[in-house]
Chains A and B, each alone.
Chain A
Amino acid sequence: MLRSPAPQMRDLTDRALDTATQQGAGYADVRVVRRRDESIAVKSGHVEGVAMGETEGFGVRVLVDGAWGFAASDRLDLTEAERAAALAVRIARASATALRRRVELDDRPPAHGSYETPVEEDPFKVPLETKLADLLAADAAARRSERVAFTESMYAAQREWKTFAASDGSFTEQVLTSVGTAVEANAIEGDELQRRSYPDAGGGFRAAGYEYVRGLDMVDQAAQAGEEAVALLSAPQCPAGVTTIILDPSQLYMQVHESCGHPSELDRAFGTEASYAGTSFLTPDKLESRFRYGSDLVTIVADATAPGGLGTFGWDDEGVAAQAVPLVQNGIFSGYLSSRETAPRIGRRSGGAMRADGWNRIPLIRMTNVSLLPVPGMTIDDIVADTDEGLYLAYNRSWSIDDRRLNFQFATEVAYEIKNGKRGRLFKNPTYTGITYELWRSCDAVADASDWVMLGTPNCGKGEPSQSARVGHGVSAARFRNVQVGVGKW
């Protein structure tokens, strides 16, 4: 059960906030974060490494004369809290020397309470021997074929204890837990290298306990991945042309991530990521004009309350309660991922999407769980059966999109030919490309809830200094018409 905050923690947050406000901050918040990571890496049956890391520290964020400052330290003592808070104020004053628009925050009520990721089987209490044995069994299954050149398998778990306090009296405590695992089989012949992974090359992750790993059927799926990697070596090259594609959930979540999640970040729309990740074609005028982002079947929501999502929490990192924000409703662009600073600029209140990568980073607008809602009526099998000709694309292999999130190109590990409503032979090296809104407008089928699954990525990059976020994506599968496939020279 929840326990009271350690008095020492209160002392530290109070000292940081008091120092900041005494030195001139109009607003201040402090996050104390302790993070534990555990990971196992296996390569071709050998345990390459077992790693465990712990880090703890705090970050003080202040507003002085409408300008931001932030300072962080891993030394959890009161003197350091004073030093960091004073430094944050000094930094904010330096920011104020190049300021054109004073920051104004929305008026969210002070936040109080606690939240903990529901976990059935604590991954940090599962014996290491069990986790190793499970991973090695999956890795071995992926190597059943002698033609698999090498395998790479991983397991990882993270738990973060987070205390947030702000000068408006907010005080929250959260414990967020996530786990992930993956197997990759690689087959090589001449210049050809084919990879098949499960459940995702970077790891399938969930905000959950070890029960998630147990439910993945890793051994059977890994064996199938190994067989398919070998089969791809002799598969024909994916043909070039314009055709119908069906994106499996293992690829569709990346399409949602890159072409809806990122462009819906309001800081990008305002240009504050222009020098690094880029901006967005979804500018605020498109909100007012009810821009048609996709077909009527496309409804996308950013839901920080979704069970199991990597972006599920109680409050974001500026104390805004978790909520569901519609981004696209029946094809119409309808909302942004936003913060207390950005939302008022479009006449709204924060949607609670400010998330920081640990104690030493400022919160940025990040995806929570950006999900394509299922559409009743057709399963994935029904959609395939309803397709005369096309490609079924699964398991992401690479991704790229322009700095306004319009022109994308994805590669998947495998394509299955669809002919007369049936999945047929494999194609290797499949790619597809297009313009974001043209693709989503061409969507004429979305699979129903029976195929809907919560996926996500643990390493969404953004910001300077760089930050990595854990974001969720619930998807089923979707069909798109007239898509360019088979890009480049092979």
Chain B
Amino acid sequence: MSQGPGDPAAVGGAEPAVDSPEAALAVAEEVLERALRGGATEAEVLLTAEDSALTRFANSEIHQNVAERSLEVNLRFVVGSRVAVIGTDRIDPSGLRNLVGRAATIARSCEARPDWPGLPAPQPAPGRAPVAWAAGTAEASPEFRAEAVREIIAEADTAGVLAFGSFSTDSEIIAVASSTGIRAAARRSASQLLTVHTSPDGGNGYAEAVAMDATTIDARALGREAAAKARASDNPVDLPPGDYPVVLEEYAVVDLNDMLGYVGFSALAVQEERSFFEPGKRVGSELVTIVDDATDPVGLPTGFDYEGIPKQRVTMLEAGVCRDLVYDSATAARAGRTSTGHGLPAPNPWGPFPLNAVWSAGDASRDELIGGLDRGLLVTRFHYTNVVHPKLAIVTGMTRDGTFLVEGGRLVGPVRNLRFTQSYVDALAAVRAGGRERRALRGMLGATVVPALRLEAWTFTGATQH
């Protein structure tokens, strides 16, 4: 059998405890020192230590229930302009020796990068680092999560439906140290509770909450919301595909945000000419302003990115007009500016990403949003969306967990799920009203704060059987 990568004698080896940002930074600095001694001309160490747990339920019972403790060191080892990235979860002396030794070998074998800008230099923080960690999440026990799940299930039982979902509680310590002088370390926490309630009469409902502090999530309220939606969507009927005005609930708007962040608001997408984004160009309704703001306490705040750069507040879309992009150090160097603090862990071929997008609130209540539809659809959520054409931001996907026909501003009843094929840029232009309430929700990456929206048109191209 092929020899393992680690010496089996390492079982039982001693590793330093990483139980505080200071301890994490100390380990990161030790790795950095070893890398520089090992021949790196530049080096950057990213360390994450995580305690995470997730309780999952289906058919109104807990069926999966997990917890994990992990640590990861990611070393960017640079020799001139040759760059290697090595990761490990072994931080005992032997593990670190191996890490640096392999990094040095690989870096020397790499091609030089003519465009290598060097590792980023420290940047001043725009303000005080936000509070990003809550003891209530870090100390969440299996019993705490189970109690919340039982509350969700109780609401499902009351409505005669079944509950399916998950409750996660994650606490991590992150530290970055680099040869350019960056030193950053912090604790962060995140929790998410989501549920799909399913009725025996064909209805489905969804509810979700994301919070830094798990103890602030109201499980019973989420259970009630999903149960009511499930019952309201019982016995859906067919509706022919076509163009309809829509109200997208917050859960659906998250998908707009994710896809636009992926294909549009990343500096790399623009530099590679695959984005719709042009500074100063109007692409959306004046009702739409999207800012990436990692200090917003409603979402999941964080003080710095995975390169240790302080998070900047970036206005990506202002009243429908393209303003600015998110940058990491590589795309910033190419553009001759500084990073906005949106780097992901190296190696990162995807470029920077807005992890904390905040959409401006509108002034409409939910009833007013729906009341503005003469004949249209209320969409709870999208499912399995994918980019069909990146530059035109054409996306296809399905509706899910509650789709309703609205006539004369009133809900008529549930319809079977529909497929759409829609340009998300065109969708920005079609916004006619926004909700005054916003929700913090989990996106593709990070957390986002979004309102519900009413759009003039949405192109549905197919239908399914439920």
Interface positions of A (Cβ within 8 A of B):
1-3, 6, 8-9, 11-12, 34, 36, 39, 41, 43, 46-57, 67-78, 84, 87-88, 90-95, 97-101, 114, 116, 122, 127-129, 132, 136, 149-150, 152, 154, 159, 161, 173, 175, 177, 186, 188, 191-193, 270-276, 278, 281, 360-362, 397-404, 406-407, 409, 411, 429, 431, 433, 435, 464-465, 484, 487-490
Output the nearest chain A residue to B85 by Cβ-Cβ distance. Answer: A51
Q: State how many residues of chain B have any CB contact under 8 Å with chain A.
A: 101
Given contact pairs A52-B102, A402-B419, A47 touches B396 in the complex (Cβ within 8 A): no
CB of B87 within 8 A of CB of A98, answer: no
CB of B12 within 8 A of CB of A8, answer: yes
CB of B274 within 8 A of CB of A406, answer: no
- Cβ contacts B372-391/A at 8 Å (1 or 0 each): 00000000000111111111
Given contact pairs A99-B62, A275-B196, A47 touches B110 in the complex (Cβ within 8 A): yes
CB of B421 within 8 A of CB of A488, answer: yes
CB of A41 within 8 A of CB of B347, answer: yes
Q: A276 — which chain B residues lie within 8 A by C-beta?
A: 166
Q: How far is the CB of B46 from chain A (nearest CB, A)?
A: 12
Q: A55 — which chain B residues lie within 8 A by C-beta?
A: 72, 87-89
Given contact pairs A1-B1, A94-B65, A161-B2, A402 touches B383 in the complex (Cβ within 8 A): yes
Partner of A54, one of B5, B106, B115, B195: B5
Partner of A56, one of B63, B89, B346: B89
CB of B8 within 8 A of CB of A8, answer: yes
CB of A87 within 8 A of CB of B143, answer: no
Interface positions of B (Cβ within 8 A of A):
1-2, 4-6, 8-13, 15, 52-72, 83-90, 102, 106-107, 109-111, 113-115, 141-143, 145-146, 149-150, 153, 162, 164-166, 168, 194-196, 198, 272-274, 346-349, 383-392, 394, 396-398, 400, 417, 419, 421-423, 459, 461-466
Partner of A402, one of B54, B165, B417: B417
Given contact pairs A94-B55, A488-B461, A150 touches B66 in the complex (Cβ within 8 A): no
Q: How far is the CA of A152 from the CA of B385 in the complex (A)?
A: 23
CB of A464 within 8 A of CB of B56, answer: yes
List the 3 shortest-distance A-B pairs measured between CB atoms, nearest first. A49-B347, A488-B421, A6-B8
Q: How far is the CB of B456 from chain A (nearest CB, A)?
A: 15
Q: How far is the CA of A55 from the CA of B106 in the complex (A)?
A: 18
A-B interface contact total, Cβ < 8 Å: 321
Q: A77 — which chain B residues lie within 8 A by C-beta?
A: 11-13
Q: B70 — which chain A residues lie within 8 A by C-beta?
A: 57, 72-74, 360
CB of A193 within 8 A of CB of B274, answer: yes
CB of A51 within 8 A of CB of B347, answer: yes
CB of B394 within 8 A of CB of A488, answer: yes
Output the nearest chain A residue to B109 by Cβ-Cβ distance. Answer: A128
CB of A53 within 8 A of CB of B164, answer: no
Q: How far is the CA of A132 from the CA of B88 in the complex (A)?
A: 22
Q: How far is the CA of A406 from the CA of B383 in the complex (A)?
A: 13
Partner of A275, one of B150, B166, B274, B390: B166
CB of B115 within 8 A of CB of A402, answer: no
CB of A403 within 8 A of CB of B383, answer: yes
CB of A489 within 8 A of CB of B385, answer: no
Partner of A46, one of B115, B348, B384, B398: B115
Given contact pairs A8-B9, A47-B113, A193 touches B4 in the complex (Cβ within 8 A): no
Q: B146 — which chain A residues lie within 8 A by C-beta?
A: 94-95, 97-98
CB of B66 within 8 A of CB of A404, answer: no
Q: How far is the CA of A184 from the CA of B241 in the complex (A)?
A: 34
CB of B109 within 8 A of CB of A129, answer: yes
Given contact pairs A56-B6, A114-B1, A362-B64, A6 touches B11 in the complex (Cβ within 8 A): yes
Given contact pairs A67-B62, A87-B67, A54 touches B89 in the complex (Cβ within 8 A): yes
Q: How far is the CB of A358 from chain B (nearest CB, A)?
A: 10
Q: How far is the CA of A489 from the CA of B317 in the complex (A)?
A: 25
Given contact pairs A78-B12, A149-B272, A409-B396, A488 touches B388 in the complex (Cβ within 8 A): yes
